[in-house]
C-alpha cells in the first residue's frame, strides 16, 4: 500500500548540522522506503509570516533547495517543489478559510503566545499580529490537504496544527457532503537525533550555538568544533562520554563501533582537543562529498530552478483534479455546467452531532463537541490520557449537564469543559440528545 508523506521546510535561514541530523537525513531516508510517496516543498509563503527581508527569503530558498538535493533527495523519486509555484495552494487556503471557525484560530499556540507577550508588555493584545500569523494554520492545512497526505512528520510543537488540519478537513467534508479530504495523521519524530549545540543546549540559531553544515567550508566546520564547550578535566584524566555533548554529536554520525571506540578512549584519558579532532574528521568525511555537490548547485541556480519547476508540474497534476472537485462542491463550477439549486445541494446530513478528540502540544488530550452543521459547541479540559477523555465522552449523552454563566460545562457535578462563545445550554443539550437518541 502506498502512503503519501508530506514535509515542508520554511525558507528563512541557512541549514546547520542540527537541521541535517534532525530533519534532512531522516526525511530523505524515509523517502526511499518501499510504498512511500514523498512530497517535499519549500514553504516560502510561510516564510513571509516570519521574515520581511526579501533578500533573506530569496537566498534561503536557494540554499535550502541546494541543501536537500546535496544531502541526497532524489527529485526523480519524490515530488520536490516550491509552495509559491502551486497556485492551487492559495485557492484552497481561501476555501478552507471560509469554513474555519475564528475560535479555532484563537487557540493556535503561535497566536496565543503573541497575545500573551503583548499582555505582558501592557500593549494591545493584537499589537503586531498580522493575518498571516493569525491564519497560519489554515495555510498549513491547505498544504497538507491539497495533496491528501496520509502522514505528516512533525515535531511536538506542530502537533496542534495537524489536529487543526484534521478539524478543518472534517468540517469541509461535512458541510459539502463528500469525502474530499483524507484526514492526515500526525507522525511524531521521536527517534531522530536532537543535537546539542556548542554550549550543550539544543543546537539552534536563536542560541547562536550551531555547527555549520556547508556554510564556510571545512575551515568553518573545524572552527565550530573547536569551540564546543567541554569540562575542565585534563589529558590523562578519565572522562564521562555520556555526560559530554561532544560525544553526543559524535555518536549521532558514527557507527556503533566508532562510538564505542571513542567512549573507551575518553574513559582512558583522551584529551578533549584530540576528541574534537576526531569529531571533526568524522564530520568532514561525511559532509565533504555533500558540500561539493552543494557548491556545484549553488553555482548553478538555473539547475535548481529546473528541478523545482519539474516538481511543481508533478505536484499540480495531483492538485488540479481535486481543486476542480472542490470548485464544483462550493458552487464555483463553470457557467456551462448544469446549475445546482440550493435545495438540491442540501443533501441530508450524513453526520449528526459528534465528539472530536485531539492532542495538545503538551501531550494532554481534549475533545470538542460539534453540532450537526459542524459548529463547535464546547471544548473539554485537558486529560492526561485518551482513556480518561473517552470515559467522559461516553458519560455526556446520558449524564446531567449544566452550563454556568462563566461558560463552564459541568457533568455530574464536575467541570469538564468550556462552552464556546455564543453557545447556549439549549444548543448543547439538543446536540447531546441527538447522540443519546
pLDDT in tens, 387-402: 888 889 988 887 888 8
Consult the annotation and say whether 232 binds a ligand. Answer: no
Consult the annotation and say whether 206 binds a ligand. Answer: yes
Residues 184 and 257 in one domain: no
Band of residue 190 on the pLDDT scale cut at 50, 70, 90: low
Residues 170 and 315 in one domain: yes
Residues 159 and 38 in one domain: yes
Identify the pLDDT of residue 165. Answer: 94
* CB 382 within 8 Å of CB 366: yes
Identify the pLDDT of residue 420. Answer: 85
- Residues β-bridged to residue 209: none
Q: Is residue 338 part of a domain?
A: no
| Better-predicted residue by pLDDT, 109 or 347 | 109
Tell me the mean pLDDT in the region 301-316: 96
Could you identify the residue written with the cell 449524564? Answer: 399
Could you identify the residue written with the cell 493584537? Answer: 126
Identify the pLDDT of residue 273. Answer: 96
Residues 44 and 180 in one domain: yes
Q: Is residue 52 part of a domain?
A: yes
- Residues β-bridged to residue 186: 152
- Residues β-bridged to residue 37: 4
Q: What percent of the chain has pLDDT over 70?
A: 93
Q: Is residue 183 part of a domain?
A: yes
Consult the annotation and say whether 333 binds a ligand. Answer: no
Identify the pLDDT of residue 341. Answer: 41
Consult the annotation and say whether 77 binds a ligand. Answer: no
Task: Identify which of 141, 166, 159, 143 has the alpha carbon closest to the alpha carbon of residue 81.
Answer: 143
Is the confidence at residue 362, as pLDDT, over 80? no
Query: Mean pLDDT for the chain?
Result: 89
Identify the pLDDT of residue 192. Answer: 54
Residues 400 and 288 in one domain: no
| Better-predicted residue by pLDDT, 281 or 435 | 281
Identify the pLDDT of residue 10. Answer: 87
Is the confidence at residue 256, as pLDDT, over 70? yes
Band of residue 349 on the pLDDT scale cut at 50, 70, 90: very low
Residues 41 and 56 in one domain: yes
CATH code of residue 111: 3.40.50.620
Task: Identify which of 113, 184, 191, 188 has the alpha carbon closest to the alpha carbon of residue 156.
Answer: 188
Band of residue 413 on the pLDDT scale cut at 50, 70, 90: confident
Tell me the mean pLDDT in the region 176-205: 83
Dihedral sign from CA coordinates of 377, 380, 386, 389? negative
Is the confidence at residue 342, as pLDDT, over 70? no
Consult the annotation and say whether 203 binds a ligand. Answer: yes
Give the H/E segment covering residue 186.
strand 185-188
Identify the pLDDT of residue 348. Answer: 41
Residues 287 and 410 in one domain: no
Tell me the mean pLDDT in the region 64-92: 96
Residues 240 and 149 in one domain: no
Q: Is residue 333 part of a domain?
A: no
Is the confidence at residue 346, as pLDDT, over 60? no
- How many whole angstroms separate alpha carbon 198 and alpha carbon 225? 8
Angle CA(146)–CA(1)–CA(144) in degrees, nearest 5?
15
Residue 34 exposed, middle or buried by CB count within 10 Å (0-12, 13-18, 19+): exposed
Residues 254 and 278 in one domain: yes
* CB 401 within 8 Å of CB 410: yes
CATH code of residue 256: 1.10.240.10
- C-alpha cell of residue 111: 497566536
Q: Is residue 336 part of a domain?
A: no
CA torsion 268-271-276-279 (nearest 10°) is: -20
Consult the annotation and say whether 100 binds a ligand. Answer: no
Split into its structural domains, the chain has a count of 3
Residues 281 and 242 in one domain: yes
| Better-predicted residue by pLDDT, 278 or 399 | 278
Consult the annotation and say whether 200 binds a ligand. Answer: no
Consult the annotation and say whether 32 binds a ligand. Answer: no
* CB 262 within 8 Å of CB 247: yes
Consult the annotation and say whether 19 binds a ligand. Answer: yes
CB atoms < 10 A from the CB of 35, how many? 8
Q: Which of 22-36, 73-87, 359-373, 404-418 has the lowest mean pLDDT?
A: 359-373
Consult the annotation and say whether 205 binds a ligand. Answer: yes
Q: How far apart are the first and last CA of the chain?
A: 38
Residues 46 and 182 in one domain: yes
CATH code of residue 415: 2.30.29.80
Tell me the mean pLDDT in the region 174-186: 90
Identify the pLDDT of residue 336. Answer: 65
Band of residue 337 on the pLDDT scale cut at 50, 70, 90: low
Q: Which domain holds residue 31?
A: 3-193+300-323
Tell me the mean pLDDT in the region 189-202: 78
| Better-predicted residue by pLDDT, 168 or 426 | 168
Residues 213 and 132 in one domain: no
Identify the pLDDT of residue 361. Answer: 65
Q: Which of 81-85, 251-255, 423-427 has the lowest mean pLDDT?
A: 423-427
CA torsion 392-397-402-407 (nearest 10°) is: 70
| Better-predicted residue by pLDDT, 272 or 154 | 272
* CB 297 within 8 Å of CB 66: yes
- How many whole angstroms separate alpha carbon 320 and alpha carbon 41? 17
Task: Identify which of 233, 234, 105, 220 has the alpha carbon closest to the alpha carbon of residue 171.
Answer: 105
Consult the annotation and say whether 10 binds a ligand. Answer: yes
Q: Is residue 160 part of a domain?
A: yes
Q: Which of 195-204, 223-232, 325-334, 427-436 has the lowest mean pLDDT?
A: 427-436
Tell me the mean pLDDT in the region 320-332: 93
Consult the annotation and say whether 18 binds a ligand. Answer: yes
CB atoms < 10 A from the CB of 401, how many? 19
- How many whole angstroms separate alpha carbon 30 and alpha carbon 38? 8
Is the confidence at residue 345, as pLDDT, over 50? no
Q: Is residue 84 part of a domain?
A: yes
Consult the annotation and say whether 255 binds a ligand. Answer: no
Q: Is residue 231 part of a domain?
A: yes
- Model pTM? 0.74
DSSP code of residue 185: E
* CB 167 within 8 Å of CB 366: no
Amino acid at each position: 500500500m502506498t502512503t503519501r508523506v508530506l514535509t515542508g521546510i520554511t525558507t528563512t535561514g541557512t541549514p546547520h548540522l542540527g537541521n541535517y541530523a534532525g530533519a534532512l537525513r531522516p526525511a530523505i531516508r524515509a523517502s526511499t522506503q518501499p510504498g512511500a510517496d514523498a512530497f517535499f516543498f519549500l514553504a516560502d509563503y510561510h516564510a513571509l509570516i516570519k521574515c520581511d527581508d526579501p533578500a533573506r527569503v530569496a537566498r534561503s530558498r536557494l540554499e535550502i533547495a541546494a541543501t536537500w538535493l546535496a544531502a541526497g533527495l532524489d527529485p526523480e523519486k519524490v515530488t520536490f517543489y516550491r509552495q509559491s509555484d502551486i497556485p492551487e495552494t492559495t485557492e484552497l487556503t481561501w476555501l478552507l478559510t471560509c469554513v474555519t471557525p475564528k475560535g479555532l484560530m484563537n487557540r493556535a499556540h503561535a497566536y496565543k503566545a503573541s497575545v500573551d507577550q503583548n499582555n505582558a508588555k501592557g500593549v494591545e493584545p493584537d499589537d503586531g499580529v498580522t493575518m498571516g500569523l493569525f491564519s497560519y494554520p489554515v495555510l498549513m492545512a491547505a498544504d497538507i490537504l491539497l495533496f491528501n497526505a496520509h502522514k505528516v512528520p512533525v515535531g511536538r510543537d506542530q502537533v496542534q496544527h495537524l489536529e487543526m488540519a484534521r478539524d478543518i478537513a472534517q468540517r469541509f467534508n461535512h458541510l459539502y457532503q463528500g469525502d474530499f479530504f483524507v484526514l492526515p495523521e500526525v507522525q511524531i519524530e521521536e527517534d531522530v537525533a536532537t543535537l546539542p549545540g556548542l554550549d550543550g543546549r539544543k543546537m539552534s540559531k536563536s542560541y547562536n550555538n550551531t555547527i555549520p553544515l556547508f556554510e564556510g567550508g571545512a575551515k568553518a566546520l573545524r572552527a565550530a568544533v573547536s569551540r564546543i564547550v567541554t569540562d575542565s578535566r585534563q589529558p590523562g584524566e578519565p572522562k564521562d562520554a555520556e555526560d559530554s555533548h561532544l560525544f553526543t554529536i559524535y555518536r549521532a554520525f558514527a557507527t556503533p563501533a566508532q562510538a564505542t571506540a571513542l567512549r573507551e578512549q575518553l574513559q582512558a584519558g583522551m584529551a578533549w582537543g584530540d576528541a574534537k579532532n576526531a569529531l571533526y574528521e568524522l564530520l568532514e568525511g561525511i559532509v565533504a562529498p555533500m558540500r561539493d555537490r552543494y557548491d556545484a548547485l549553488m553555482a548553478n541556480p538555473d539547475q535548481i530552478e529546473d528541478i523545482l519547476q519539474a516538481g511543481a508540474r508533478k505536484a499540480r497534476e495531483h492538485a488540479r483534479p481535486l481543486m476542480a472537485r472542490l470548485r464544483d462542491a462550493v458552487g464555483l463550477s463553470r457557467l456551462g455546467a448544469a446549475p445546482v439549486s440550493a435545495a438540491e445541494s442540501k443533501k441530508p446530513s450524513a453526520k449528526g452531532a459528534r465528539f472530536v478528540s485531539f492532542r495538545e502540544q503538551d501531550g494532554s488530550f481534549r475533545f470538542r463537541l460539534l453540532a450537526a452543521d459542524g459548529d463547535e459547541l464546547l471544548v473539554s479540559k485537558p486529560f492526561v490520557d485518551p482513556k480518561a477523555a473517552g470515559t467522559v465522552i461516553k458519560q455526556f449523552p446520558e449524564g446531567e449537564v449544566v452550563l454556568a454563566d462563566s461558560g463552564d460545562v459541568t457533568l455530574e457535578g464536575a467541570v469538564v469543559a468550556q462552552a464556546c462563545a455564543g453557545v447556549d445550554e439549549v444548543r448543547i443539550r439538543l446536540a447531546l440528545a441527538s447522540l443519546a437518541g
